[in-house]
Amino acid sequence: MSSDTGERIGFIGIGLMGHGIARNIVEKGYPVTFLGRAKRAPADDLVSRGAVEVRSVEEVAAASTVVFLCVTGSREVEAIVRGPGGLKGALKPGSVIVDCSTSDPTSTAALAAELAPLGIELADAPLGGTPKEAAEGKLSAMVGAGDAVFARLRPVIETWAAKVVHIGVTGDGHRMKLLNNFLSLGYAAIYSEALVLAQKVGISPARFDAVIRGGRMDCGFYQTFMRWTLEGDRDAHKFTIANAFKDLKYLESMADAAGLINPLGNAAKNAFAVAVAAGAADEFVPMLPTHVGRLNGVDLAPPSSEGP
């Protein structure tokens, strides 16, 4: 497959999700210039597929008409855009920045307003899925952008997303992503507490799962979430507890700005805050039951593992 749109793609953030996205873009015919990193495997893989590695944000900007960012959150995005040698001063008018991170919508709107007088568009296209779907080109994307910008970006996004939804204006993608993560991470907090309580009253995770799986409370998230507790699979859902905590803090900020009382959002946030405080920041979300169990004197570490 080859691209005939004439777009030259820049990419910053070739981590767990970004590597798969960038790989799909270059494999489907777009020229890709990416910011290199010390961890060599993703960078070497992209180079082997025809992408060009550079050493500075300015070099990415010079080679690109559209630059994708796939980093941790708003702090990192702001540094890449506003910092010395950043995209704000290096991109040409007519360029587009696409933030695929899970970011604070307030920050996204502020950046868009700063960039508009320079003729640079900012779109947000946060992701749904895991690194597995990223590698397979089967993520979902919720895009915030004007109609013309969305039409321009859609062919590129479709190289890595099986489902592309135009949510609304810039910032709406990030707003929807926070709502999506509120649901998924809220499930994670509820599943964790339910599993610990079940074990406490004598119902094992396997017996718990035998009831839930295949019933009305089953879903794709539940299935990947349970693979740690049932099988000791560390890689079922590579999304850290620290990132979950960050996203729920962004949700709290959005709710505060909207004047919304959100006790359930805060309860979910606090479930992850406790795990972070206990030293589990770099563990993955499906490991949360193990940490909730420890607080309650319940061992939910998979029998085949040594625990997180």
Cβ-count burial 118-148 (b if 16+ within 10 Å, e if not): eebbbbbbbbbbbbebbbebbbebbbbbeee
Domain covering 9-169 in this structure, CATH number: 3.40.50.720
* Per-residue confidence in pLDDT tens, the chain, 308 aa: 446 679 999 999 999 899 999 999 999 999 999 999 888 999 999 999 999 999 999 999 999 999 999 999 999 999 999 999 999 999 999 999 999 999 999 999 999 999 999 999 999 999 999 899 999 999 999 999 999 999 999 999 999 999 999 999 999 999 999 999 999 999 999 999 999 999 999 999 999 999 999 999 999 999 999 999 999 999 989 999 999 999 999 999 999 999 999 999 999 999 999 999 999 999 999 999 999 999 999 999 997 655 45
- Taking a C-beta distance cutoff of 8 angstroms, is the pair 123, 172 a contact? no
Distance CA 272, CA 255 (A): 18
Distance CA 248, CA 271 (A): 10
> Residue 208: how many CB atoms within 10 A of its CB?
19
Q: Which residue has the tokens 């915030």?
A: 144
pTM over 0.85: yes
- Specify the CATH class of 175-295 in words: mainly alpha
pLDDT of residue 19: 97
User: Encoding tokens for residue 147?
Assistant: 């109609």
177 is catalytic: yes
| Domain boundaries along the sequence of the chain | 9-169, 175-295
Catalytic residue, from 177, 246, 249, 269: name it: 177
Distance CA 140, CA 244 (A): 18
pLDDT of residue 1: 44
